[in-house]
Amino acid sequence: MRHTARPRRRLHRAGGIHHDGLMPLIAVAPSRPTAPQGVQVVAAPPHWETPCTHTECTLHQLSPYIGKLKSRIAADLVRRYSRRGDLVADVFCGSGTIPLEALRLGRRVFAADTNPYAMLLTRAKVNAPVSLEAAQSHAAVLLDNAEHQPAPDLRRVPTWVRRFFHPRTLKEVLRFAKTLQPVGDSFAFACLLGILHHQRRGFLSHPSSHLIPYLRDKKYPPHAFPELWSYRPLRPRLLAKIGRTLRRPLPIPQIQRHARLESASIEQIELPDRLDCLITSPPYMNALDYGRDNRLRLWLAGTDRPEELDRFTGGFEAFRSAIQILATKLEQRLKPSGHAIFVIGDRQTRRSATGYPSEELMRIVRQRSPSLKLQSIVCDEIPDIRRARRHGRGVKREHIVVYRKVTNA
């Protein structure tokens, strides 16, 4: 992924600032969020700007996800706030960036999310094969099996889905998805979802956007670009996708990966006892629709009405309630000296009592988790290239709010 330069206008050098060691000695000029006395808002380290798509584990590029964290940032947070062998939790794991980096760095993992597409990606990443040859020959067998499936009746497929595909391609996609259902092969399924829509030739749909599914029929009308609207065979595309995804695999034998995954909301999950570290990015308040924006992939994965997922996760009340529940659970389950790190997509919101999600989070943690002490706040400007809707009014900045559990004993 390309990166634009991050604006530095509001930053100034400040000597002698005390902070927890991860971040450079650059303080952000006073602004929001308002930090409590003695806690400084510091700027993210410059190396977070550097692109990492050519060096990161290529499983991170399995399939896009809105609000996905950069793997370099996830790795830095895991390294700084936990040790090898520690149990690291991410209860809003999305596409599994933090769990994958935690495993790669020798941690144990607990991960959960309500979104079935998110959990499919996370499961696929943490259980991904190490050997490319084995993965491709296994996929070839599955593709052969799919050819023996009965032809799907496309009249049962919603019109909005059919508009994205050539009928022959769509039949191959549906047969393959059906073959995968009983075997539960999350890696092969996630690779299929990863090539579902885009305008490039290696993808399966008519020309459309990659992150959020929109047909690009104005930019690439069928009469002017007939080749983009023709049949696209699944087999070569899927095998090539597996090749790209395992170019830099997770170099740890599957048997040595300790990961517990739960497809559940924060209300339902039981946090593991004596947790060493929580690193998580809660849902962006009122800014991202994890159901609607992933609708085509969710539909193929078996969610009939993807938009309904957003009824419980999108707004201000949902954010506040999720953080309240999490803070209460953390108070009981985080080990003494353990860290809790929240990556908050921040912007002013009229409905919030305090104005900013990160300020709301700090207020709730003060009430519900009195043993968590605020250590530092890191401000990371999000360049347009990393945002789901560029040039929009949505979240332009993330605040990383760092806590440590202290006990009187």
Q: List Cβ neighbours of 398 (8 Å cut-off, separation of 6 or more).
A: 281, 343, 344, 345, 346, 379, 380, 382
- Can you tell me the distance from the alpha carbon of 166 to that of 151, in angstroms, rounded to the nearest whole number? 15
Residue showing the smallest CB distance to ligand SAM in the complex: 94
Note whether 357 binds ligand SAM by CB under 6 A: no
* Stretch 300-339 residues interacting with ligand SAM (CB under 6 A): 313, 322
In whole angstroms, the minimum distance from the beta carbon of 178 to ligand SAM comes to: 26
Note whether 67 binds ligand SAM by CB under 6 A: yes
Q: Which listed range, 81-89, 90-98, 145-153, 175-183, lies at the site for ligand SAM (CB under 6 A)?
A: 90-98
Question: Which of 48, 81, 187, 284 is close enough to bind ligand SAM by CB under 6 A?
Answer: 284
In whole angstroms, the minimum distance from the beta carbon of 20 to ligand SAM comes to: 21
397-405: strand order across its sheet: 11-13, 26-28, 41-43, 372-381, 397-405, 334-346, 275-280, 87-90, 108-113, 259-263
Note whether 287 binds ligand SAM by CB under 6 A: no
- Can you tell me the distance from the alpha carbon of 181 to that of 242, in angstroms, rounded to the nearest whole number? 19
Note whether 69 binds ligand SAM by CB under 6 A: yes
Question: Which of 179, 208, 281, 369 is close enough to bind ligand SAM by CB under 6 A?
Answer: 281
Neighbours of 80 (CB within 10 A): 16
Q: Site mask, ligand SAM, residues 165-194, x = CB under 6 A?
A: ------------------------------
Note whether 213 binds ligand SAM by CB under 6 A: no
- Can you tell me the distance from the alpha carbon of 63 to that of 238, in angstroms, rounded to the nearest whole number? 13
- Can you tell me the distance from the alpha carbon of 184 to that of 383, in angstroms, rounded to the nearest whole number? 37
* Stretch 359-378 residues interacting with ligand SAM (CB under 6 A): none
Beta carbon nearer to ligand SAM, 72 or 237: 72
Note whether 208 binds ligand SAM by CB under 6 A: no
Q: How many residues does the chain have?
A: 409
Binders of ligand SAM: how many residues, by CB under 6 A?
21
Beta carbon nearer to ligand SAM, 76 or 113: 113
**If 0-12 CB within 10 Å is exposed, 13-18 middle and 19+ buried, where does residue 291 land?**
buried
**DSSP 8-state class, residue 150:** P
Beta carbon nearer to ligand SAM, 19 or 386: 386
Question: Which of 35, 57, 89, 118 is close enough to bind ligand SAM by CB under 6 A?
Answer: 118
Q: Which listed range, 14-22, 87-95, 163-171, 213-221, lies at the site for ligand SAM (CB under 6 A)?
A: 87-95
Beta carbon nearer to ligand SAM, 118 or 120: 118
Note whether 48 binds ligand SAM by CB under 6 A: no
Specify the long-range contacts of residues 168-172, CB closer than 8 Å, at least 24 apart.
168/231, 169/204, 169/231, 169/232, 169/233, 169/234, 172/146, 172/233, 172/234
Cα 266 versus chain centre, distance: 16
Nearest alpha carbon to residue 381 among 65, 70, 21, 1: 70
Helix, strand, or coil (residue 406): coil
Note whether 358 binds ligand SAM by CB under 6 A: no
Note whether 286 binds ligand SAM by CB under 6 A: no
**If 0-12 CB within 10 Å is exposed, 13-18 middle and 19+ buried, where does residue 149 land?**
middle
In whole angstroms, the minimum distance from the beta carbon of 160 to ligand SAM comes to: 22
In whole angstroms, the minimum distance from the beta carbon of 224 to ligand SAM comes to: 36
Interface residues with ligand SAM (CB under 6 A)? 65, 67-69, 92, 94-95, 97-98, 113-115, 118, 265-266, 281, 283-284, 290, 313, 322
